[in-house]
Structure 1
Amino acid sequence: MPYWRLSGFYLFYFALLGATAPYLALYLDYLGFSSARIGELLAIPMLMRCISPNLWGWLGDRSGRRLAIVRFGALCTLFSFCLILLGKSYAWLALIMALYAFFWHAVLPQFEVLTLAHLGEQTERYSEVRLWGSVGFIVTVVGLGELFERVSLEVFPWVLIGIISCIFISSWWVPNAQLSSARDNPLSGGFLRQLRQPGVLAFFIVVGLMQLCHGPYYTFITLYLESLGYTRGVIGQLWAVGVVAEILVFLLMVRLLRHVSLRQVLIASLLLAVLRWLLLGTLADHWFWLLLAQLLHAATFGSFHSVCVLVVRRSFNARQQGQGQALYAAVSGVGGGLGALFAGYSWTGLGPTLTFFCASLVALLGAFILYRKMPENPS
């Protein structure tokens, strides 16, 4: 297994997320946009995941050229984002968000399939490879927090262009691989029939709900903490704390899954998300409770995402893996986009406390659905 080449790609890919998730809203605020406009602009890339992953996933399954799609998507993402150098009006930024997201979201689902193909029968080691994405996120979020304490946010677009360039370059380090079809069940049928297996639809609904409840966090947490008096450097460190906890979960996931089922991990992750949003909505001005809320990122993203990739892997045949991972990304995008839109409009109308309370109710609904509808051992 080309461990370091796979890990290197994840490092740069999630370094981009480490730049955009905490600081893109801050940059849009710097440009003078209102909360509603910021929510709309941040919703566009998430909603684009409804279209892009499914199209590229279908193409990847039909052609088998997943690595070519990864490289092409990375290159087009770079060209698309460079358009930000030509203008920064609302309409122009909306176009850039849609265009770059269309190609950026083509990359990860196909790369996930490649990674699983390289892992072969050792799919439980996925988290050991994926943790380097978290390392890239930490380095970026802490580094940019310190950088923006010292320089203007005017340099933000150039930072993103540099990171996207690294994603494209690293895509050429990775060797190709194909999933074995030996595990296919000849009676399982096509993609839609596999989608109707017990618990699979419920699983995807819950994936959307988990991303929806993250909407207020990903859209406004940096601005929220800044309004409570935290500096940008400290905010960057708080983001990093959450991702360090996520890395620890990735390292422990192989051992954890020897003792608990995928369903149990998903339900526990959702229940801990309920607690996290309640803490952020009511006690974020207290350092101890804010730190605890950030540590819970280990569950709300780390354990949840690790298990979701494995559930998708077990739910679809090799010939439908691209579409399965793409559907996972697309449903995540729908939930995330709706969450960002909700946060954009509710942040001013309801306020942060009620907004996070609504997010906790969404997570609780997701846990209830899994408890009732998902079998103990999805396959």
Structure 2
Amino acid sequence: MLSISARPALVLAYFTYFGVLGIFVPYFALFLDGRGLNSADIGLLLAIVTASRIVGPSVWALVADRSGKPLTVMRVGALLAAIGWLSSFADYGFWPLLAGFALFSFFWTAILPQLEVSAFAFLNDDTQAYSRIRTAGSVGYIVLVILGGWLFERYGSEFLPLSALLFLLLLIASLFMLPKVSVSTELSSEAVSFSTLLKNSVLLRFMLAALLLQISFAPFYGFFTLYSRDLGYSGSQTGIFIGLSIAAEILAFYFAGSLMRNRSYRLLLGICYGVTVLRWYLLASVADNVWWLCFSMLLHAGSFAIAHSCAMQFIQQFFPKKLRSRGQALYAGVIFGGGGALGAYFSGLLWQDGAGASTTFYVAAVIALAATVLALTLPGRKPASADLVT
């Protein structure tokens, strides 16, 4: 089996993983619209597919913890996700699409939490090194978003099945290139149990704030390409808009480690979540102005990149080494699974085939404001699990 050193392999894995998402996330709604689904159906399908991410991460984390083989879990998950993705090539209506994408989403959840845990293990918990390697994912995303806009203009929404499959295969190859990582040394006995940490008020407030923020992202992730099209922007312009947000994300990820050093979660998350309120307000009110739209996209640096880096560092510091895989799975399941599912379902109801677009983003701004208020109740200093047992 071909393997390469940890850092280049991690760069390749993040690049290909988020490259798949660069095709799937922005253009999935256009793909479903092209298959004849209305906005309510799209929202329901997105919600059910996303809901599979609630249970999936915890299931795969349990397998990884008991086996001590996170690489095997990632590889199996990627292979099975590719098999589930094959359903996108057939057009048999709503329910077959739902079944195929639900399978894809469930197996897809095996990858990222274990990749994050493995990356921190390889990097000896160096947050700055992690943030810089994580930029490879953002590069993969932006490359595929821009390429997707070009492909959509020339081939329509049916470009998605084959192009995403090709990057899925590249992802599988990259995971088989990762060197072996053992987490057995991480699994020594700990003084605090997972259930005890789950009751801690700091964790509960952090998770609820992150959940609300993720709910607020749902109309952007699910419907922005449709919104942009309805405003009269071309596919290539839409790709450039999303590319701007990812360019800002790349820059933010690169400097995130230095930015977070010796700064409190309350300050950073309060600012990042507050920026998100402004972002959704601008999309709701002035998205027909190309300059304001571009400015709102640049706010992705704070609303996602810095916020995500803070969240990853929070999980690493809050949970002891034995429990980090389960902590990552909890975060991925509750936030990306639960928050994404709730947001997608209600966004689909509010969207009304575009007639409720502005209202949907105004509601997202209010939800992000609630997340901001909650984030400001977090402690000023960075948490450590040993301090949070009681």
Specify if TM > 0.5.
yes
Q: Deviations over 1:224-249 (max 9, x none)?
A: 01111100000001100000000110
The one-letter amino acid of 1:109's match is P
Residue in structure 2 matched with residue 174 of structure 1 by the alignment: 178
Residue in structure 2 matched with residue 29 of structure 1 by the alignment: 33
What is the deviation of 1:268? 0.9
C-alpha contact (below 8 Å) 2:15/2:138 kept by paired residues:
yes
Q: Which moved more, 1:256-265 or 1:95-104?
A: 256-265
Q: How many residues align?
A: 378
Residue in structure 2 matched with residue 293 of structure 1 by the alignment: 296
C-alpha contact (below 8 Å) 2:128/2:258 kept by paired residues:
no
CA distance 1:185–1:68, change in 2 (3 Å) = closer
Give, in whole Å, the separation in 2 of the partners of 1:319 and 1:272: 34
What is the deviation of 1:124? 3.1
Residue in structure 2 matched with residue 362 of structure 1 by the alignment: 367
Give, in whole Å, the separation in 2 of the partners of 1:308 and 1:180: 25
What is the deviation of 1:178? 3.5
The one-letter amino acid of 2:11's match is S
What is the deviation of 1:154? 2.4
Q: Deviations over 1:62-107 (max 9, x none)?
A: 2211110000000000111112334431000010111111100111
Give, in whole Å, the separation in 1 of the partners of 2:381 and 2:321: 23
Secondary structure of residue in 2 paired with 1:23: helix
The one-letter amino acid of 1:27's match is F
Match among 12, 18, 21 for residue 16 of structure 2:
12
Residue in structure 2 matched with residue 376 of structure 1 by the alignment: 381
Secondary structure of residue in 2 paired with 1:199: helix
Q: Which moved more, 1:197-206 or 1:97-106?
A: 197-206
Residue in structure 1 matched with residue 47 of structure 2 by the alignment: 43
**Does 2:312 match 1:312?**
no
C-alpha contact (below 8 Å) 1:13/1:133 kept by paired residues:
yes
Q: Deviations over 1:284-314 (max 9, x none)?
A: 0011110110001111111111110110011
What is the deviation of 1:161? 1.2
Secondary structure of residue in 1 paired with 2:37: coil
**Does 2:219 match 1:216?**
yes
Q: Deviations over 1:39-59 (max 9, x none)?
A: 111222321111100111122
Q: Deviations over 1:122-155 (max 9, x none)?
A: 2332111111000000110001111221123223
Residue in structure 2 matched with residue 335 of structure 1 by the alignment: 339
CA distance 1:125–1:143, change in 2 (3 Å) = same
What is the deviation of 1:213? 0.2
What is the deviation of 1:374? 4.1
Alignment of 1:193-212 (within 5 A): 193-212=196-215
C-alpha contact (below 8 Å) 1:142/1:236 kept by paired residues:
yes
**Does 2:106 match 1:102?**
yes
Alignment of 1:182-193 (within 5 A): 186-187=190-191, 189-193=192-196
**Does 2:250 match 1:239?**
no
Q: Which moved more, 1:78-87 or 1:126-135?
A: 78-87
Q: Deviations over 1:148-167 (max 9, x none)?
A: 21123223211111111111
Give, in whole Å, the separation in 2 of the partners of 1:34 and 1:148: 19
Structure 2: unaligned runs, 5 residues or longer = 385-390
CA RMSD of aligned residues (A): 1.8
Secondary structure of residue in 1 paired with 2:99: helix
C-alpha contact (below 8 Å) 2:283/2:296 kept by paired residues:
yes
Give, in whole Å, the separation in 1 of the partners of 2:27 and 2:104: 17
Q: Which moved more, 1:369-378 or 1:35-44?
A: 369-378
Sequence identity (%)? 36
What is the deviation of 1:359? 0.7
Give, in whole Å, the separation in 2 of the partners of 1:290 and 1:246: 16
Residue in structure 1 matched with residue 120 of structure 2 by the alignment: 116
Match among 3, 10, 14 for residue 7 of structure 2:
3
Give, in whole Å, the separation in 1 of the partners of 2:89 and 2:154: 22
Q: Deviations over 1:105-130 (max 9, x none)?
A: 11110111000100104233211111
Alignment of 1:274-289 (within 5 A): 274-289=277-292
Secondary structure of residue in 1 paired with 2:111: helix
Give, in whole Å, the separation in 1 of the partners of 2:227 and 2:8: 37
Q: Which moved more, 1:51-60 or 1:85-94?
A: 85-94
Match among 77, 80, 83 for residue 87 of structure 2:
83
The one-letter amino acid of 2:359's match is L
Alignment of 1:150-161 (within 5 A): 150-161=154-165
Residue in structure 1 matched with residue 356 of structure 2 by the alignment: 351
Give, in whole Å, the separation in 2 of the partners of 1:54 and 1:259: 31
CA distance 1:47–1:268, change in 2 (3 Å) = same
